[in-house]
Amino acid sequence: MSRICIIGTGYVGMASAIGFAELGHTIVGFDIMPERVADLQRGITPYREAGIEETLAKHLKTGRMRFTANQQEAVRSAQLVLISVGTPALADGSCDLTGLRQCVAALRKCDLTDCAAVVLRSTVPPGTSDDVAKQLENIAEVIYAPEFLREGNAVADFLKPDRTVIGAESITAAVAYATLFEPLQAPIMLTSRRSAELIKGASNAFLALKISFANEIANLCDALGADSLDVLRGVGSDRRIGPAFLMPGIGFGGPCFEKDLKSLERTATRRMVNCELVSGALRVNERQPKRIVEILTAELGSLQGRRIGVWGLAFKAGTDDIRDSLAVRILEDLSERGAIVRAFDPAIRSANLPENCTLVTTALDAADADALLVLTEWPEFREVSPHAIARNLSARLVVDGRNALDIERIVDAGLRYRGVGRTADPVLELEAVS
Ligand code: UGA
């Protein structure tokens, strides 16, 4: 069993820490935020994810996990040092590598005698880990090993990977890291550091591309009176295409896709390479939240003074994260148009919302409005009685930006339903456009 130091205790760092502890390794987590370290040491996680607090508590008790705000001490006697610090987007779309640079500068002063490799796991532009290797020349071997973890599902994804990608120039270092993943029995791919960096960027770009494609087809379904769920199910049933990430909605949000695609686009532009599909996926995604508001205005007319109920603020179900959530962008748009918004999200107890937007504590409280907008696909929304919704919804309109509700039950309760590429009566819709 190995002694592993993990630098950075965000989603990726914590999922890796818990995952490796589950596999029997000893983990020391380091973070520059002393308050976060103190919380973690008491078993309090910085974000919501099913099962994560219980597993953390278990490993704090077994002594397999501990946290410190002292990097020198965290790294001392570690056999592997994993870096998973944040690499957020700058205003021009490039990656902010300040945190990573600080971390590497600090590592140069640490005792890395026992360390087989420093493993960079943060998402970075290609070429970054070669730079880190130069910084750590004669101090430690450097590996780039991307993560493919989804927020809300990160520990499960860690323990059940489709593949483990290891970008390394030294076989000994690669083997030291690869050995950790043997019990997971997933294929291990050994590449150069640069290729591994691009595998991460290109994977996120392809997933985002699928979502934008689904949204484009769903918008076409709206115009043609076809049903987007049937169409995309039919498309995804082709094994060469696959059903995953073809769910149309309000667009892809969250801290990864938009940032990573913009960073890839920028890297390509710098090298004078056209990445038109990546740019196209971003453009479709920019328009999609506006499309949801267009559906609302097509039904209601001006939104000035209209009361809009909103279900869901998180960028997807299963998380309390509203970073780069398109639901929040839609709220901003509604607020600018003079709407009065009551928003509910089962995972969010407080948030800084735009003017005239209030956070309420129950789904039905939010539905006390003219129309209801569904912006996150929380499964519990399907459990709310459509008749109870209908009682207070004065314009009797539900715009389901995630195709999350049961269309038949909504219509049976006397409500109008507009989804993304789905309406209550596609045939009538077709007649209306022809
Ligand atoms: C994404 C990738 O899925 C992970 O593999 C990757 O490791 C991670 O980014 C990262 O780079 O760190 P994540 O951002 O947590 O994970 O969330 P996803 O589940 O991929 O969803 C992203 C957005 O796309 C959400 O807003 C979601 O609602 C939306 N989405 C997803 C759709 O609109 N339709 C879909 O079919 C799937």
Alpha helices in 271-325 (DSSP H): 276-300
- Which tops the pLDDT comparison, 93 or 403? 403
Task: Using the predicted structure, report yes or no on whether residue 233 has a pLDDT greater than 70.
Answer: yes
145 and 49 within one domain = yes
Q: Are residues 342 and 246 in the same domain?
A: yes
For residue 94, how far is its CA from the centre of ligand 1 (angstroms)? 20
Say how many CA atoms lie within 13 Å of 130 toward its Cβ. Answer: 10
- The confidence score (pLDDT) of residue 48 equals 80
Q: Is the CB of 150 under 6 A from ligand 1?
A: yes
Tell me which of 122, 165, 206, 211 to substitute to probe ligand 1's pocket, judged by most ligand atoms within 8 Å of the beta carbon: 211
Is residue 402 domain-resident?
A: yes
- 123 Cβ inside 6 Å of ligand 1: yes
- The residues annotated as belonging to the active site are 256
Q: Which domain holds residue 385?
A: 206-433
- Domain membership of residue 225 (yes or no) is yes
Shared-domain flag, residues 185 and 211? no
Q: Which residues pair with 118 in a beta bridge?
A: 81, 142
Residue 428 has pLDDT above 60, yes or no: no
Tokens 């789905």 identify what position?
422
Is 298 domain-assigned? yes
User: 252, 285, 329: which to mutate for ligand 1, most atoms within 8 A of CB?
Assistant: 252
Nearest one of 270, 269, 257 to 202, comparing CA atoms: 257
Integer Cα distance of 234 and 236 in angstroms:
6
Which of these, 202, 313, 352, lies nearest to 268 by C-alpha position? 202
CA 169 to centroid of ligand 1, rounded, Å: 30
Tell whether 165 and 214 lie within a shared domain.
Answer: no
- Report the nearest-CA residue for atom 20 of ligand 1: 150
Query: How many Å is the Cα radius of gyration of the chain?
Result: 24
Give percent above pLDDT 90 in the chain.
92
Q: Is the pLDDT of residue 89 over 60?
A: yes
> How much of the chain, in percent, has pLDDT values that exceed 70?
98
pLDDT score, position 427 = 42
Both 65 and 110 in one domain: the answer is yes
Strand order in the sheet with 371-374: 357-359, 340-344, 307-311, 371-374, 397-400, 416-418
Question: For residue 401, is pLDDT > 90?
Answer: yes
Please state the φ and ψ torsions of residue 374, each to the nearest 5 degrees: -100, 120
Structure tokens at 302: 């001006």
**HSE (CB half, 13 Å, CA atoms) of 114?**
12
> pLDDT for 17-32, tens place per residue?
999 999 999 999 999 9
CA nearest ligand 1 atom 11, residue: 256
The total of other beta-carbon atoms located within 10 Å of residue 323's CB is 15
Which atom from ligand 1 is nearest to the alpha carbon of 200? 11
* Number of domain units in the chain: 2
Give the model confidence (pLDDT) of 293-337 as tens digits: 999 999 999 999 999 999 999 999 999 999 999 999 999 999 999
Phi-psi region of 421 (alpha: psi -120 to 50; beta: other; left: phi over 0): left
Looking at the fold, whether 231 and 161 belong to one and the same domain comes out as no
At which of 124, 156, 191 does a domain end?
191
pLDDT of residue 94: 86
* Angle CA 238–244–246, to nearest 5: 85
Atom of ligand 1 nearest to the CA of 203: 5
- Summarize pLDDT for 241-278 with one digit per residue, the tens: 999 999 999 999 999 999 999 999 999 999 999 999 99
- Are 150 and 13 found together in one domain? yes
Domain assignment present for 201: no
Residue 181 and residue 227 in one domain = no
Calculate mean pLDDT across residues 379-406.
96
Residue 28 Cβ contacting ligand 1 at under 6 Å: no
In a domain, 199, yes or no: no
What is the crossing angle of helices 228-236 and 193-224, to 10°? 140
Q: What is the pLDDT of residue 426?
A: 37
| Angstrom distance (rounded) from CA 51 to CA 157 | 13
Global pTM reads 0.94
pLDDT at position 433, please?
Answer: 52
Share the mean pLDDT of the chain.
94
Given a cut of 60, is residue 142 above it in pLDDT? yes
- Spacing, Cα 166 to ligand 1 middle (Å): 22
Which atom of ligand 1 lies closest to the CA of 210? Answer: 36
Same domain, 187 and 234: no
Phi, psi (deg, nearest 5) at residue 6: -115, 120
Q: Is position 130 within any domain? A: yes
Domain co-membership, 51 together with 184: yes
CB 89 within 8 Å of CB 263: yes
Q: 261, 273, 340, 266: which is closest to 300 by C-alpha?
A: 340
The whole-number pLDDT of residue 213 equals 98
Q: Examine the domain organization and report whether 50 and 178 are in the same domain.
A: yes
Query: Ligand 1 centroid to 211 CA: how many Å?
Result: 9
pLDDT digits (tens, 9 = 90+) for 173-230: 999 999 999 999 999 999 999 999 999 999 999 999 999 999 999 999 999 999 999 9
Q: What's the CATH code of the domain at 293?
A: 3.40.50.720
Distance CA 370, CA 341 (A): 10
CB 25 within 8 A of CB 180: yes
For the cut 90, the answer to whether the pLDDT of residue 395 exceeds it is yes
**CB distance 228 to ligand 1 below 6 Å:** no
